[in-house]
Structure 1
């Protein structure tokens, strides 16, 4: 193996520690470049997905999320079977290849979007992008947690995430140009090409790991198909992660739903909506990259991954209190007048991607391999999408009851306060292996 993966007991022989120091740089380079490509491809299809939400407004989001949640529950045992019985290399190859083919198949559907309808295409594409997240983005980080040990992860994951942020900035920049020249549908083919390049790098990384003696990578994890659900109830750390996911989703989805109504009211065609959401993604990822360059790595190395969960929650409290006070007003930022809701969306997402995500994935290096794949992916897909359904339905009910943006901001601030408390406990969960 590359020298990164720890045995179940968390002990590493001296010879492997030497190999880890020798090979960590090459593994880090391959991982960072692969994540750059994954995120570049992903952020080409995100604004394509989001413009569908902007076309129908927040009232249709509960339907999108409900269908997605149902599909996630159906896919949980399928993913559990694959992880249990298929080698890591085949799991990567089959998953990524499937989505490359799907991306190409969606091209003619988006050419015919006006005939199909944004609502129908939106349901299908929302579900598909969520499955994409399970088998591509989340699987990538499960793989990373499999080949890095905890102390390396705190150093390496912010840098790998920074590479992803580079891709997440490059993707929207390329999209901004291509959507004007080519339109929406061809973006999917470009995304498929970047995903194919990422797969080649990940297969090379896995092959190096196997040649170095990681025999566990050549076989599945074994265990139950339903281990992801079972471990949610048996592992305190996963329970904290699930609660933290729901609370964080409450904040993020609230901002997203409010922004969907804004986009519906201000942008009439899909090209304008795609460009708008693309600019939001660009600002979000620029903030995430800045955090990873300046604060995140220092915080994780100096104080531990737990604080990488607490700090974003504290930032969210401040932002949501501002929304509670100022509502939908505008603010002056960097010499520009921008909607406060846009600032909230960009900042909450920027801290989530630039700090929370590397911290969470660092903590997953301290759990068994089966938990890294099955438990982690269940929390990051089914639990996440359940939160989407819960929050969007709640926003609709609150709006029906006459609760305005200020009131929703105050409720969100309370949710963020609870999130800070849970985040602090998650970093000290009793079932985490010693650092």
Structure 2
């Protein structure tokens, strides 16, 4: 009965194809569940170590500065990632990367349990380097592991199977983003400790992800491990590197367009998110309480995205086309920006952030991944890593520069300028989305590669 429902709602899967995308969805749910468990702790720990809680003295600007610092510190991280992907096969690269993050999470858990260096020391200090490094560590996990998972998934998917399967993967993934934060958020209070043990649990979840991925590779039939192959560009067996990916990105307007879709969303949402989290730091008095609230926020985002997909929002793309799906998101975000202008309050920002993120995950995420289908392996493994990491993080850093001006301009002027700028970006974003969808569909119809 479940398989029948999935075939009606997502597309006419074969039995083996349905198993393939459900299996990938389960793997993705562990990745997303881990990330959304770490993400509230990223902000909560940074607030405890660097900003301080219950303060209104302007120290929240460090949250904006953290996004700028993380952009620069991620450069060497992605360079190492590029070298790793050059050296190993695509499945081996996933094993190496997940093993690295699992070990690091265990070490972070031990560090944060230290009575002086860890979370027991609640005196905020700008020079507590652990707060900055922790922030970058979680950002890198969210960029690299997710990017590598999708590069692998896109590489083993055809254009038709992607239309059916990608939304299903995301829907199952959101379920992990609901369950894991809700199950782990009360662990500190149950143990009478800080949130450090939760990081160790995240390390265990990453190891389970590795084992599930290996099981998938070993048991999936070879014919289902083949993806779209175009005819315009000859594929080379050369594996990815950071700077090759950057060169491809800068020389193809199609890839610059994908970059801009991600960047526009992050530029606009980071402005709202900064104000939302600044209010959280002012409202709550300790990291545990803030982490619980932000965990509820994360669970709400994933729950809304899950139910959107469950009730058929993916049919926007299946029935109305890729262009409508991609153009729907800037319109939705534009409505959120206007609401932010008139209701800049904590509860309203909570709902606006939940709505904007959920629509992005449910509609924008699967649609953007389909844009990579008519591209070469080099684009999937090289340029996508650059786009996912620096399109998102670079946009967040740029928006954070604007957020740093809040104290100088005053809130009213800052709000007016950022809202007007955001609405202008949303308008440009709308037309870029239509162009990319048209170019993608043309390439698939002609069975060629865009780049």
Please classify the TM superposition score into its range, dividing by the shorter chain length.
0.7 to 0.9
Instruction: Tell me the CA shift for residue 348 of structure 1.
Output: 0.9
Task: Answer yes or no: is 1:43 the counterpart of 2:27.
Answer: no
Match of residue 133 from structure 1: 142
Given the alignment, which residue of 286, 304, 317 partners 1:300?
317
Cα gap change, 1:327 to 1:26, in 2 (>3 Å) = closer
Instruction: Tell me the CA shift for residue 374 of structure 1.
Output: 1.2
Match of residue 207 from structure 2: 196
Match of residue 422 from structure 1: 432
Task: Answer yes or no: is 1:229 the counterpart of 2:253.
Answer: no
Q: Which stretch shows the higher mean deviation, 132-141 or 223-232? A: 223-232
Match of residue 315 from structure 1: 332
Alpha-carbon separation, structure 2, partners of 1:138 and 1:118 = 33
Contact 2:34 2:180 in 1 (8 A): yes
Q: How does 1:28-427 map to 2 (within 5 A)?
A: 28-55=21-48, 56=51, 58-111=60-113, 112-115=118-121, 117=124, 119=126, 120=128, 121-182=130-191, 183-208=194-219, 221-222=238-239, 225-324=242-341, 326-329=342-345, 339-404=347-412, 406-407=415-416, 408-427=418-437
Instruction: Tell me the CA shift for residue 398 of structure 1.
Output: 4.1
Instruction: Tell me the CA shift for residue 431 of structure 1.
Output: 9.7
Instruction: Tell me the CA shift for residue 54 of structure 1.
Output: 4.1
Cα gap change, 1:53 to 1:107, in 2 (>3 Å) = closer
Secondary structure of 1:366 counterpart: coil
Alpha-carbon separation, structure 1, partners of 2:311 and 2:83 = 40
Q: Which stretch shows the higher mean deviation, 47-56 or 260-269? A: 47-56
Instruction: Tell me the CA shift for residue 135 of structure 1.
Output: 2.8
Q: Which stretch shows the higher mean deviation, 111-120 or 258-267? A: 111-120
Instruction: Tell me the CA shift for residue 387 of structure 1.
Output: 1.3
Cα gap change, 1:245 to 1:378, in 2 (>3 Å) = same
Deviations 1:347-383 (A, max 9, x none): 1111111211111112212211111121111011022
- Structure 2: which 5+ residue stretches go unaligned? 1-12, 52-58, 228-235, 446-451
Secondary structure of 2:285 counterpart: coil
Cα gap change, 1:171 to 1:22, in 2 (>3 Å) = closer
Please give the root-mean-square deviation of Cα atoms over the aligned residues, in Å. 2.5
- Structure 1: which 5+ residue stretches go unaligned? 1-19, 330-337
Match of residue 8 from structure 1: none
Secondary structure of 1:34 counterpart: helix
Alpha-carbon separation, structure 2, partners of 1:213 and 1:301 = 22
Alpha-carbon separation, structure 1, partners of 2:310 and 2:145 = 25
State the aligned residue count: 405
TM-score normalised per structure 1: 0.86
Contact 1:64 1:122 in 2 (8 A): no
